[in-house]
Structure formats: structure tokens, C-alpha cells
Structure 1
Amino acid sequence: MIRVVGIDPGSRITGFGIIDCEGNHLRHVDHGAIQAGDGELGERLRRIFSELGAAIDRHAPAEAAIERVFMNKNADSAIKLGQARGVAIVAASLQDVAVHEYSANQIKQALVGRGHATKTQIQHMVKILLNLRETPQADAADALAVAVCHAHTRASLQRIPGRTSRAGRVS
């Protein structure tokens, strides 16, 4: 069994989702959304680092998965997203958690079967795949989706002789 934390970085809201994986069996452990707010960027990044670090410390995942940054039309927003992503990677790395990255299309493909799924479809599939009673908030659902994508990718790579799970690892 391996525990994975999925991270959906954002400068105002960062989602996290933690699952246990054993073969093709997935079990929900925890999820949440870190509300960084509208304050100064430095304070928001500190809150993301602190709260995500506490969740990682509390649940002790062995691996982390994070969504890759995409280029937004607004360069300022993309830079802030990149900074939130960097803080999240450092929060995991400082606790010796290996970090892997996936594109939004890879995540959607792994959950819904097509790369252009809606947020509602992602939330619905996360609820079904993890047997949740209630639909998680959008950012937490996205983070759980990242964790599920990593679990599926990891399981597939383990079935290939001589292949390691280093694909997609942040370096």
C-alpha cells in the first residue's frame, strides 16, 4: 500500500487530497481546500506552505502528485500560480515526499476518459471512484483527481517489466 497526496495549487485556494492505493484499489483518507485569501502574496504563500505541510506531516504520504502549470492569458496570474505550485512542491520535498507532475489533460483522461472534462464531471468521478458520500469542493476534488491519476499511472508502470515510476517526476 502507498499513500499519495494530490495537490491542486492556487494562489487563493490550494486543494489537497490524500488517498491510499493498493493495486487498483483506492481509498479516500482526507481532503481539503486551503483558503489563502486575498491578502499579500507572501502571506498567502506562507499559509499554503504551512497548512499543506501540516497535512503532509499528519498523513505521511510517500508520494505527491501536482498539476503542471499551464500558460494562462494573464501572465501575472500564471506567475502567482507558479509560485503557489513551487511552495507546494517545497512543502512536500522538505518532508522527503517524491513529487510527480501531470498535465490537466492527463488528469482528466485518467478520471473521465477524455482530456477535456468539465469540473462537474471531475467532481462526479472523484465521488464515484473514492466512494464518497458527498461531492467534494471543486479544488479538493481536483486535488483528489491528481492523486487518482498518479495512482493509476503508477499501477500501470509497475506492470511493465523493468519500468520505474520516475515518469513525470519533478526534477
Structure 2
Amino acid sequence: MTHILGLDPSLSCTGWGVIRVEGSRLAHVANGQIATDPSAPMAARLAALQAGIAEAIATHRPDRAAAEEVFVNKNPQSTLKLAQARGAVLAACGEAGIEVREHAARAVKKAIVGTGGADKAQVQAMLKVLLPGAAIAGPDAADALAVAIADAHRPI
């Protein structure tokens, strides 16, 4: 049995989700979103993300984590903010000694829906099938659960 923490880093709202994997069976454990105050200083926002992920790790004790690979936005400021949020989230994993595996966004969509060109609505609909009864905290948590499921399907 393995527990995987999926991560969807963002400065405004980072999603996280934990699944349990037993053979080919998946089960929802928990999920959530960590929103930051846009009027707060950058350091405070990053500290809030790191603390929130550290709390999720301490509570759910995942065996490993998974995150989408970085993509470059047309807006360099957006890319920089994403990278900073991602650094805070990955630092929480590093502090806990948890390996983080990365997945391309298209690979995550393909693992969940069957096609790399799927939209968010299709991914969320499939999550309801793959994790029946799970109360998903919002779209960022849904994305994080999708990353965790994609990781569960990737050979080690």
C-alpha cells in the first residue's frame, strides 16, 4: 500500500490531494486547497504555502509526492510567481524527506481521461469515477488528485 501526495502549486491557491494505492485500486484519502492573501508580502505567502503542505504531509504521511512539470507562461511575471510557489511547496516535501516525481500536464490528462488534450471539466468528471464519493475541495485540489493518480499509473 502506497500513499501519494499530488500537488498543484500556485501562488494564489495551491491544491493538494492524497490517494492510497493498493495494486491497481485507488482510494481517496484527503484533499484541500491553500489560498494565500494577495495583499500579503511575498515571503508571507510562500511561508503559508510551505506550512500548509508541511501540515498535510504531517497529517497524512505520504510515501512520495507528485507535481506537474513547470510550464513557461507568456507572461514572465506569472512564470516567476509559479516557480516561487512551486519552490515553497517542494521545500516542504524536501524537509520531510519525500521524493517528488514530475509529470507533464499532457501525461496527467492522458492518465485520467485517455487523451492529453482533455479539458479541466473532463478531468474533473473522470475524478468522480476514479474516486467515487470523494468531496473535492475545488479545482486546484482536483488537479492535485489528478497528478497523484497519474503518478500511481507511472512505473517506478
Range into which the TM-score falls when normalised by the shorter chain: over 0.9
Give unpaired runs (5+ residues) of structure 1: 158-164, 166-171
Corresponding residue for residue 14 of structure 1: 14
- What is the letter of the counterpart of residue 105 of structure 2? A
* Percent of aligned pairs sharing the same letter: 41
Deviation at 1:105, TM superposition (A): 0.6
Residue 32 (1) aligns with residue 32 (2): yes
Q: CA RMSD in A?
A: 1.1
Deviation at 1:37, TM superposition (A): 2.4
Residue 73 (1) aligns with residue 74 (2): yes
Deviation at 1:42, TM superposition (A): 1.2
CA–CA separation in structure 1 for the residues paired with 2:53 and 2:134: 24
- What is the letter of the counterpart of residue 127 of structure 1? K
Corresponding residue for residue 47 of structure 2: 46
> Which structure 2 residues correspond to residues 128-147 of structure 1 after superposition, within 5 A?
128-134=129-135, 136-147=137-148
Q: Secondary structure at the match of 1:18?
A: strand
CA–CA separation in structure 1 for the residues paired with 2:5 and 2:51: 15
Give unpaired runs (5+ residues) of structure 2: none
| Cα distance change of structure 1 residues 63 and 133 upon mapping to structure 2, 3 Å threshold | closer
TM-score, normalised to structure 1, is 0.87
- What is the letter of the counterpart of residue 85 of structure 1? R
Residue 5 (1) aligns with residue 26 (2): no
Q: Which runs of 4+ in 1 moved over 2 A?
A: 132-136
Task: Count residues with an aligned counterpart.
Answer: 155
Q: Secondary structure at the match of 1:117?
A: coil
- What is the letter of the counterpart of residue 99 of structure 2? A
Corresponding residue for residue 114 of structure 2: 113
Deviation at 1:132, TM superposition (A): 2.4
